[in-house]
Structure formats: structure tokens, C-alpha cells
Structure 1
């Protein structure tokens, strides 16, 4: 079993360019965050207004440390206007339990 976790954050927007631009700004700011292994921006196939940012973390402690830090809110602020609150909480955290 891996200690890695994935954090999935849902976004919705009419402008793919706006979301992609914000995603790239945030990713540049997070490039040196300890424990962050990488991230991806996914776009819905059936709903092109739907976006998902999936980040990979070394472990839950690394994510929680960054999340509770002072830079967390400022560094992710470009994407905040696009958060999808329609289904309740706009993010989920998953622990990797198996992989091939």
C-alpha cells in the first residue's frame, strides 16, 4: 500500500482558456512545494464546462502541511472563482490503495 494521496478539486467554467490560464499560474506557484509530486487538469468529455484538478502528494501529512500553511490560499486563488460548489464540497481526498 502506498502512502500517496490524490486531491481532486472540481471546477466549472464557460471559458476553458480562463481555467487553463489559472491552472498554469497556480501550478507554477506550487512547483517547489514539498511533497507535491505533480498535478493534472482534466476537462469533461460530456460536459466541457467541467474541469478537475488532480494533484498527487507523497502522503497525507505533506498535503495537510501545505493546506494549513499561510501560502495555501494565496497560491490557489487564481482557480477559486471556478470552484464547483453545486454538488456540495468541491474537493475530495483519496488515498492510493492499489496501483498497476
Structure 2
């Protein structure tokens, strides 16, 4: 099996994808409202020129912490400086304000992708 080095938008060796993983505990009973709000405000992220993609994932059935459901938000960026520029923007502050009422707790992890292996099901 051969891994393919991942690249950002320009495909250069110095443009490895920068990934951000947010883990959020959403208050019980507000999951649907959170999902709808995330979808409505998602263009604040995907509209940034440094963003490659974004996903919202719900923890497997029964994955709960404290009093809420666990969600994960994954976003890929062309590089870390692009993400940091978004993170300090007014668009990000507004995005965070709209999602904050649903959140009980959370954490953020950042990483640089090294390799990506395509599965047989990719078309």
C-alpha cells in the first residue's frame, strides 16, 4: 500500500493540508437546533479562501458526555496561517456567537496531514 502525500490548493510540497478537529458537547434537547444553525452559518467557514472543506459529525448512538450529545466539526485548510487568519476574523467571532448557546463544553485539536490513503470505494 502506497500513501499519497496530501497537499493543499496549490499542490506544492509545502502546502500539506492543515486539519482542525473540534469536539463539542451539545446540550440535551438542542441537538436539532444546533445542527440547523451549523448548516445555516457554515458559509462563514467555507467562504474563506483558505478553507478546503468542512464536516459536521454526530457521535455514534449513545455517545454522550455529561448532559449532552457529542459532535465533531472537522475543517481542512490550505495551511495553518489561513486557519489562524480566519480564527481572528469578525466572521469567525459571529459564527462562534451563534453556535455558543448550544455548547456545554468542547475542545480543539489541530494537525498537519502527512498521508492520505484512498479506499477502494472512492470513485
Q: TM-score, normalised by structure 1?
A: 0.82
Cα offset, 1:84, TM superposition: 4.9
Unaligned runs of 5+ in 1: none
Q: Does 1:27 align with 2:42?
A: yes
The residue that corresponds to 2:116 in the other structure is 99
Task: Say which of 25, 39, 54 aligns to 1:12.
Answer: 25
Match of 2:73, SS? strand
Distance of 2:93 and 2:107 partners within structure 1? 15
In the TM superposition, 1:14-93 aligns within 5 A as: 14=28, 15-45=30-60, 46-47=62-63, 49-85=69-105, 90-93=107-110
CA distance in 2, matches of 1:51, 1:35: 23
TM-score where L is the length of structure 2:
0.68
Count of residue correspondences: 97
